[in-house]
Every structure is written in structure tokens, then in C-alpha cells.
Structure 1
Amino acid sequence: MKVAVIGCTHAGTAAIVNTAKLYPEAQITVYERNDNISFLSCGIALYVGGVVKDPHGLFYSSPEKLAELGVTTKMRHEVVSVDTEGKKLTARCLESGETMEDHFDKLIVTTGSWPIVPKLDGIDLDNVLLSKNYNHSNTIIEKAKDAKHITVVGAGYIGVELVEAFENNGKKVTLVDSVERILNKYLDPEFSGKIEDSFREKGIELALGQTVQSFEGEDGKVKRVITDKGAIDTDLVILCIGFRPNTELLKDQVDMLENGAIVVNSYMETSKKDIFAAGDSCAVKYNPTGKAMYIPLATNAVRMGTLVARNLVRPTTEYMGTQGTSGLKIYNHNIASTGLTEGAAADEELNVDSITIKDHYRPEFMPTSESVMVKVVFEKETRRILGAQVMSEADLTQSVNTLSVCIQNNMTIDQLAFIDFFFQPHFNKPWNFLNSAGLEALPEITPDPVQV
């Protein structure tokens, strides 16, 4: 069995390693256009901020490790065309310029995503940078050394993490986003507002509700960001606007969403036989709504890549879908979320209710007992849990994994009230704070009149 793999980051590495182990007789060839594989891009801010000193720890595989499994890795080779009907591809060596053709029995497409780069005047100026891969991170670190004022465009996870990293390094920082608040896709205002307050306390300028229109420079280097509300003087710009799937190779050959995300079934099969896909190049089943959505997360990627290998020869293991569960640490805020926010539920035109509680996560008689804020969003009619957010100065983020399982299993807010959690004063209260959220949301019961 000849297996060709295009791309080798999270999904690709998982697919390759598991395919090699499950089918040792398979002839696996990997095509990677970069000079490295398996880079943990979620660690860029930690690397930029100096928390991670040795970047080699951000790689969890290498061509040498794959070779030990019998895998042939063609680094700096870009696949320029794929014929899914004829089961062949053409690749170009980026160093020599030579092209080669290869045939396959099975094709695994793990081409990932690429940052959205708007077509704006000045976008090609020096010091307007992207943040996606290892080379990007090294460029950011090098350019940031001499920068006094850094502007980050985009207030998603990557953007806010970089803002913190730059501020910790003593830089003046401005965060720009076209919407009125940060992290609006992941958190409701009562959570994102606390992070905004922390940013302002640190002297970070929040230019929210502003759309970037162009960049101006001097001597070829960026000097100003022009928005619809004014100009921001700056030495360095990092674009963190979002990502698009890298799927041009399969355009018009397999089913895709409007944004180009490849549609796969629960066995990671595309609409074309023997063509599989996983990771940031794909749409995923989003359990809170049941729809196929584009949610590029490393956790989704490694699960999907592993499932490709298990289903490569025949369907064996189904994908369970995702809640888009994620976590974030900004200063002393430990934050995690899963499923729909209240705002996202409204966008989906779902009839929802929510409960927000503030409590101490363990008894107040303990030496410390930090407070925790929990919000659970649920469907009014069925009372099915659709999403949740947790924030605390204590690290209680793992509790969101529990809520993720609740969503995946279609549990209700009423059931959350009475789930069996242990009690030990070091860790929690007799009523775990998740129980407390469920109890707070229980409907009132009107007792029957006493019969005489």
C-alpha cells in the first residue's frame, strides 16, 4: 500500500506515526514544504516571551524519527498538483526547482491553514509580520529586539498571548481589532472584560472597534497603522487576524465549505474514495449545533490525524465531534471555554438561557481559597448544555473538560447539578462549583397543597 501525505504538523504527524505503526508494510512518503516538521505553533507566544528558552522542545517529531518508522520524508518539497482520479501528485523541490511525480493508493491531506492576509496598502512593508510557524517566531523575536512600540492586529488567542509576551518584555503595545471586545469568539463580555481591564492596568492600548485600512512606512519599514478611527505610530506589526484552510490542491475535486475547508465524514474520508483529510484543512462536526464548522485547533488535528490511520483501510473508529474546547492563561487569569458562548448561541438563533455563578472553589477556612466564575449556557426548551466558560486565579481550567464531556453526551443543566464529584477540602467544597452552577439553574418547584 502506497500512502502519500501532504503536510506534517499536528494532524500530519499523528496520521503518519499511527499509519506506520498500524501498517508496517505500507510505503509512506511525506511531502513538507517547510524545513521543519511538527512545530507546536501554540507555543509561539511562550517562545517570544522567553518562557520557553529552548525552541527545540516545541517540536515533537523529526524526519529522523519518522525514518526510524520506515517513513520517507521529502523536506522542502511543495506539492503543486494532485489528480485524485488518477491517484498521482506532482511535487517541486524548493531548493533545486526540480519536479517529480508520485503515485499513491491512499492520499492523506494534512495541509493545515495559513494566516489571513488582507489586501491593504502597505501590507508588504518590512516589519509587518505573520505568526504561524517556527520561522515566523524567530523573525518576530529578532525584529522585536529593537522595536519600542509593537502593534498586534487581531484579538483572538494568538493576538492576546503575544500582547502579554511583548508587554512582559517591556514593549509598548497596542492591540487592534474590528470588534468592540477581545476574544469575542471564545468568551462572553463578563469574562473578556476582566482581561481587558488587566491589559489596561499594564498600560496596553486597546484600539477596539477599529478596522485597519492601510499601513504607512518610511524607508521601506512600517511606521503607522491607519484605521478607520485614526493612526497608530508603531515599529512592528504582527497580523493575527485568523486562518484559512490550505486546500487549493483539492479545489473542485472534493466537497468543501465556502471558505475552502474540506468536508470529511466521521471516518475522515473526503467525498473522493481513498482521499483522506484531517486537521486545520478540514471542517469538523461541532456538537453544540450539529453543523460542520471550521475550528482550527491542535486538539482537533491530532484526533483527526489518528483517526485517519485507524480508518485508512476500512472504517473502524468514528469521530465523536468537537466542542471547540480551549484554554488560555493571561497574567493571573486562568481561563477555559467549551461550546457556544451566549453571544454565539444568539448568532445561531438558538433559544438559550445561562447561569453565571461566583464562588470560592474550596472552603474559606483553607489558607487560600480563590474565587471562580463559571457560566453555563443551555437550551431553554431541552435544557441541554451548549457551552461553558470558567475563569479563576487558581488553575481550575480542567473543569471545562468535564463540561465538554457533558455537551458531547447531550447532558442537561439539571443533571449537572447532581453529578457525583468527590469532596476534599484541599480541592473543592461538598458542592463542587460545577454542581453549584447546575443547582442555581434548577427550575422552581411549587409543592402541592397539603391534603387534610
Structure 2
Amino acid sequence: MKVIVIGCTHAGTAATLQIAKRYPEAAITVYERNDNISFLSCGIALHVGGVVRNAEELFYAHPDNLAELGVQTRMRHDVLAVDTERRTVTVRNLETGDTLQDTYDKLVVTTGSWPIIPNLPGMELDNVMLCKNYAHAQAIIEKAAHAKRIAVVGAGYIGVELAEAFQQLGKKVTLFDNTPRVMFKYLDQTFTDIVEADMAEHGIELALGQGVQSLHGQEGKVTGLVTTAGEYEADLVIMCIGFRPNTGLLKDQVDMLPNGAIIVDEYMRTSCPDVYAAGDSCAIRYNPTGQPAYIPLATNAVRMGTLVALNLKQPQVKYMGTQGTSGIKIFELNIASTGLTEQAAVEAGLAVSSTVVTDNYRPEFMPTYEQALIKLVYETENGRLVGAQVLSKADLTQSVNTLSVCIQNRMTVEELGFVDFFFQPHYNKPWNLLNQAGLQARADLEAAAAKQPELA
């Protein structure tokens, strides 16, 4: 069996390692256009801020690891074309410029994603940067050392983390987004209000609800930007407004979403025989809605890559879908979310209700305790949980992993109210916060039903 893997970050690394271990007789070739594999891009902000001083620690695999398993890893090789009918790939050696053609029995496409690059005047200026890979991380650190005013465009997780890192380096930071709130996709306003107040208190300027229209500079270097609300000075601009699936190689050869994300079945198979895909290049089943969605997360990628290996010869293990579970630490706030926000649920056409519970996470007789905020989003008709958010100075983020399982298993808020959780004063209260939230949600549903006029 001859296997070709295109791209080797999270999904590609997971797939390659597992294929090599399960099928030692297979001839596996990995084509990777970069000079490294398995870079944890989620650690870029930690590296920029000096928390992770050695960038080599952000790699968890090396071509030598694959070579020990008999994998031929061809670094700095860019796949130019795929012909799924002839089962061939055309590849350019970026070191020599030579091209070659290779054949496969099984093709694994783990080409990931690439930052969205806005079509704005001034994007060609020096010190306007993207944030995705190892090279970007090193360049950002180098440029930031000489910058005084930094503009971060995009207030998702990456943008918020970079803003924090730059602030801790003593830079003047402005965070821009065309949505009205930070982390708009992940949190509802009750939570983002707290985060925004905390960021402002730490000196980060928030320029929300305004789109960047152009960049301007002098002598080829950026000096500022113009938005729908005004002009701002900046000598370094980081663009992190989102990602697009990197799937041009399979255009018109497999089924895709309108944004180019490859549609795979529950065994990671594309619509083309013997072509598998995984990671940020793919759409995946989003359990809160049951529909395919594009959710580029490293956790999804490693699961999907592993499933490619398990199902390469025959279907064995089904993908369970995702809730898009994620977490972030900003200054002293620990935040996590899973599933739909209330706003996203409404936009998806679901009839939902929500409950917010605020309480200290452990008994007040303990020497210290912190307030926690938890929100549940659930269907009004049956109480099925579809989303949740947690915020506290105490690290309660693992509770969102529990809520992710609840959503995956289509549990109701009533069932959540009576789940068996342990009690120990060091960690929680006799009624766990999740129990409290489930019981309060049940009561809220009952109260709402009681207000409905009786049917004639």
C-alpha cells in the first residue's frame, strides 16, 4: 500500500504516525512545503510574550521521528497538483526547483488553513504581518522588539492573546475588530463585557465595531491605519482576522462547502475513492446543529488525523463530531466555551433559552474563593443543551469539557442538574456549579411554561 500525505502539522502528523504504526508494510511519503512539522501555532502568543522562551518547545514531532518509523518525509516540497482519476501528485522541490510526479493508493490531504489576507491598500508595507506558523512567530518577535505602537487586527482568540502578550512587553496596543465585541464567536455579551473591562484596565485600547479600510506608511514602512471610525498610529500591524481552508489542490474533485472546506464522512473519507482528509482543511459535523461546519482547532485535527489511520483500509471507527470546545487565559481570567453561544443559536434557527449562574466556586469558609460565572444555552422545547460558557479567576475550564460531553450525548439541562459530581471543599460546593446551572435552567423553563396561556 502506497500512501501519500500532503501537509504535516497537527492532522498530518497524527495521521502519519498512526498509519506507520498500524501498517508497517506501507510505503508512506509525506510532502511538506515548510522546513518543519507539528508546530503548535496556538503557542505563538506565549512565545511572543516570553512565557515560552524556546520556540523549539512548540514542536512535538520531528522528521527524524517519522524516519524511524520508515516514513519518507520530503520537507520543502510543494504539491502543485493532484489528479484523483490518475492517482498522481505533482510536486516541486523548493530547494532545487525540480518537479516530480508521484503515485498513490491512498491519499491523505491535511493541507490545513491559511490566514485570510484582506485586500486593503497598504498591505504590501513592511511591518504588516500574518500570524500562523513558525516563521511568522520569529518575524513577529523580531519586529516587535523595535515597535512602540502595535495594532492587532482581529479580536478572536489569537488576536486577544497577542494583544495581551504585547501589553506585557510594555507596548502600546490597539485591538481592532469589525464585530462589536471581543471573541464574538465564542462568548456572549455577559462574558465579553468582563473581558473587555479587564483588557481596558490593563491599558489595551479596544477599537471594536469598526472595519480597517487601509494602511498607510512612510518609506515603505507602515505608520498607521484607517478604519470606518478614524485613523490610528501603528508601527507594527498584525493581521489575524481568521483562516481559510487550504484546499485548492482538490477543487472540483471532491465535495466542499462554499468556503472550500472539504466535506468528509464519519470515517474521514472524501467523496473521491481512496482520498481522505483531516484537520483545518475540512468541514466537520457540528453536534449542536447536526450540520457540517468549519471549525479549525488543533484538537479536531489530531482526532481526525488519527481516525484517518484507523479507517484507511476499511471503515472501523466513526467520528463523533465536535462541539468546538475551546479555552483561553487572558490576564487573570480563565475562560472556556463549548457549542453555540446564545446569539449563534438564534442565527442557526434554534429556539433557545439561556441561564446564567454566578456563585463562588467553593465554600466561603475556605481561606480563599473566587466568583465563577457559568452560562447554559439550551433548546426551549426540550431543554437539550447546545452551548455553555464559563469564566472565573479560578481555573474551572475543565468543567467545559464535561459540558462538551453533555452536548455530544444530547443531554438535557434537567439531566445535568442531577449528574453525580464529587464534593470536596478544596474544589467545589455540595451542589456543583454545573448541577446548580442545570437545576436553575430547569426552573427557568418551568417558570416560562407557567406563563404560557393554557390551551383551549
Q: Do they fold alike, i.e. is TM over 0.5?
A: yes
> The residue matched to 1:324 in structure 2 has which SS?
coil
Structure 2 contact 247–260 (Cα < 8 Å) conserved: yes
SS in 2 for 1:345: helix
Structure 1 position 54 matched with structure 2 position 57? no
- Equivalence for 2:315: 315
The equivalent residue for 1:106 is: 106
Residue aligning to 1:243: 243
**Whole-Å separation in 2 of the counterparts to 1:131 and 1:353:** 37
**Is 1:332 equivalent to 2:332 in the alignment?**
yes
Match of 1:272 in 2: 272
Aligned counterparts, 1:71-82, within 5 A:
71-82=71-82
TM-score of the superposed pair, with normalisation by structure 2? 0.97
- Alignment match, 1:221: 221
Task: Report Cα offsets for 1:340-364 as digits up to 9, x if no partner.
Answer: 0001011112110011000111111
The Cα of 1:193 is off from its aligned counterpart by: 1.0
**Cross-structure match for 1:188:** 188
How much has 1:19 moved relative to structure 2? 0.2
1:31-70 Cα offsets, whole Å, 9 max, x none, are 0000111000000000000000111110011111110010
2:453 paired residue number:
none
- Equivalent in the alignment of 2:367: 367
Task: Work out the CA distance in 2 between the residues paired with 1:187 and 1:386.
Answer: 14
User: Cα distance, 1:369 vs. partner?
Assistant: 1.2
List aligned pairs for 1:78-227, cutoff 5 A: 78-227=78-227
Letter in 2 for 1:189: Q
Counterpart-to-counterpart distance in 1, 2:352 and 2:146: 49
**Cα offsets for 1:404-450 (capped at 9, x unmatched):** 0000000000111100001111111110000000111224499xxxx
- Paired amino acid for 1:86: R
The offset of 1:188, in angstroms, is: 0.3
Match of 1:68 in 2: 68
In structure 2, distance between residues paired with 1:349 and 1:87? 41
SS of alignment partner, residue 357 of structure 2? strand
Post-superposition shift, 1:22?
0.3
Scaled by the length of structure 1, the TM-score of the pair is 0.98
Partners in 2 of 1:121 and 1:81 — Cα distance? 31
Q: Read off the aligned partner of 1:303 and give its amino acid letter.
A: R
Matched position secondary structure for 2:35: coil
**Residues in 2 aligned to 1:427 and 1:204: alpha-carbon distance in whole angstroms:** 33
Q: Separation in 2 of the partners of 1:296 and 1:351?
A: 26
> Which residue pairs with 1:13 in the alignment?
13
The one-character-per-residue Cα deviations of 1:201-251 (angstroms, maximum 9, x if unpaired) are 111111111111111010000011111111111000000100000000000
In the other structure, the counterpart of 1:234 is: 234
Secondary structure of the residue aligned to 1:30 is: strand
1:264 maps to amino acid: V
> Cα distance, 1:149 vs. partner?
0.2
State the secondary structure of the residue aligned to 2:125: coil
- Give, in angstroms, the shift of residue 196 of structure 1: 0.5
**Aligned residue number for residue 306 of structure 1:** 306
Read off the aligned partner of 1:327 and give its amino acid letter.
G
SS of aligned partner of 2:426: coil
**1:289 shift after superposition:** 0.1
2:115 and 2:132 in contact (8 A); partners too: yes
Matched residue type, 1:356: V
The CA deviation at 1:382 is 1.5
SS of the equivalent of 1:283 reads strand
Q: Distance in 2 between matches of 1:210 and 1:183?
A: 15
Q: Distance in 1 between matches of 2:209 and 2:418?
A: 42
Q: Which residue of 2 aligns with 1:389?
A: 389
Partners of 1:320 and 1:202 in 2: CA distance? 40
Letter in 2 for 1:363: P
Q: Distance in 2 between matches of 1:425 and 1:226?
A: 53
- In 1, Cα distance between equivalents of 2:389 and 2:73: 41
**Aligned partners of 1:108, 1:357: CA distance in 2, in Å?**
45
2: CA distance, partners of 1:442 / 1:210 = 39
Name the SS for the 2:263 alignment partner: coil
Contact 2:383 2:442 (C-alpha < 8 Å) held by counterparts:
no
Partner of 1:295: 295
Distance 2:302 2:442 in 1: 37
Letter in 2 for 1:138: Q
- The amino acid across from 2:19 in the alignment is T
Structure 2: which amino acid aligns with 1:262?
I
How far apart, in 2, do the equivalents of 1:77 and 1:125 lie?
Answer: 28
Q: Which amino acid aligns with 1:166?
A: F
Give 1:274 shift.
Answer: 0.1
Aligned to 1:449: none
- In the TM superposition, residue 376 of structure 1 has moved relative to its aligned partner by 0.3
Q: In structure 2, what is the Cα distance between the partners aligned to 1:259 and 1:165?
A: 31
Residue 89 of structure 2 aligns with an amino acid whose one-letter code is: L
Report the residue type matching 1:326 in the other structure: S
Q: Is the 8 A contact 2:355 2:441 kept in 1?
A: yes
Contact 2:256 2:262 in 1 (8 A): yes
Match of 2:454 in 1: none
Q: Which amino acid aligns with 2:161?
A: E
In structure 2, list runs of 5 or more residues that go unmatched: 451-456
Distance 2:39 2:179 in 1: 30
Read off the aligned partner of 1:38 and give its amino acid letter.
S
Amino acid at match of 1:111: T
What is the aligned partner in structure 1 of residue 261 from structure 2? 261
Q: Once the 2 structures are TM-superposed, how far is the Cα of residue 106 of structure 1 from its aligned partner?
A: 0.2
The Cα of 1:392 is off from its aligned counterpart by: 0.5
- How far has the Cα of 1:192 moved from its partner? 0.9
Deviations 1:281-312, CA, capped at 9 Å, x for gaps? 00010000000000000000000000000000
2-side partners of 1:410 and 1:171: how far apart? 46
Q: Cα deviations across residues 305-355 of structure 1 (Å, max 9, x unaligned)?
A: 000000000000000000000000000100000000001011112110011
Q: Which amino acid aligns with 1:249?
A: L
Query: Does the 8 Å CA contact 2:376/2:441 hold for their aligned counterparts?
Result: no
SS in 2 for 1:442: helix
